[in-house]
Amino acid sequence: MVTVRAPATSANLGSGFDVFGVALSRPADIVRVQKATETSIDVTGVGRQFIPEDPEENTVGAVADALDAPAHIEIDKGVRPASGLGSSAASAAAAAVALDALYGRGYSREELVPVAAEGEAVVSGVAHDDNVAPALLGGFTIATKRGVTRVDADVTLVVCLPDIVVSTRDARTVLPADASLEALVETVGNAATLVAGMCRDDPDLVGAGMRDSVVTPARAALVEGYDAACTAARDVGATGVTISGSGPGVLAVCRPDTRRVVASAMVDAFDGQGVDARAYQTRVGDGAEIL
């Protein structure tokens, strides 16, 4: 048996839609695999009632297929599905690492990125690497058609998870069809600022670089209480706030000494809008690890 922990991740970070991603130190999924003649799946943990155990419909079933590695797979969910925290990517990344080790395939983490992305596509409808790359490699990642670039970063983050369900499929239907040249110039500037901030562990630059005038405004209406949570977080010291992945999670960057107040301010702000929420005080973390 092989057991792997893979972290929650936050994709996009505002200006890096479908490109940027970051591994979070918590929460995480745990996946255990044992060789079998055909693949079967058991799911426990948070949101298990929303996750199909049929291998044809589950992200890890697609990973087992792609690696030609049939197994009995137990998924202990720590990352809530449809949260914007890369729930399916965490399971897919953990399964990819576990099955690779179980069958001695010898793939590198970079080589497992497209494998895990295929698994995630079963759930989201699109194979994109911005969650699976940090789930596999850790740190801050830049996923493009030419591959993944990983940056070590040490930045304090707060993720607030309102009790709302937003599926990635639905969140992609509200995306604008195109963007202006002005928005392109602004986005390049913000994205470059964010990368510089990650390289320097600078929460001011990261927060400033998360601004986004294209995708985030189009999705904000899907997250009831989003504007109130952003304002509340900024008022107590968050340097940047945006939708985590396709939502409804909300990601804030801050200095370590403000993370508690930022977390409470966001939860209180959602509460004030009649939405239950919980917050994770977290930071940029490691990728999947064999336990």
- Write out the residues near ligand HSE by the rule CB under 6 A: 11-12, 17-18, 124, 128, 130-131, 168, 171-172, 245-246
Q: How far is the CB of 78 from ligand HSE (least distance, A)?
A: 17
Over the range 129-146, which residues count as b (16 or more CB within 10 Å of their CB) and which as e?
bbbbbbbbbbbbbbbeee
Q: How far is the CB of 154 from ligand HSE (least distance, A)?
A: 23
Q: How far is the CB of 155 from ligand HSE (least distance, A)?
A: 19
**Cα→Cα distances 64→69, 205, 245, Å:** 5, 40, 25
In contact, 100 and 68? CB cutoff 8 Å = no
- In one-letter notation, the amino acid at residue 183 is A
Distance in angstroms (rounded) separating the CA atoms of residues 133 and 139: 9
| 123 φ/ψ angles, rounded to the nearest 5 degrees | -90, -45
CB nearer to ligand HSE: pick between 69 and 96: 96
Q: Is 120 annotated in the active site? A: yes
CB nearer to ligand HSE: pick between 208 and 215: 215
CB nearer to ligand HSE: pick between 124 and 141: 124
Q: Which of 156, 168, 193, 258 is catalytic?
A: 168
CB nearer to ligand HSE: pick between 158 and 214: 214
Q: Which of 120, 141, 239, 258 is catalytic?
A: 120
Which residue's structure tokens are 């197994």? 71
Which residue's structure tokens are 């995306």? 175
Q: How far is the CB of 18 from ligand HSE (least distance, A)?
A: 4
Q: Is 168 annotated in the active site? A: yes
* Active site members: 120, 168
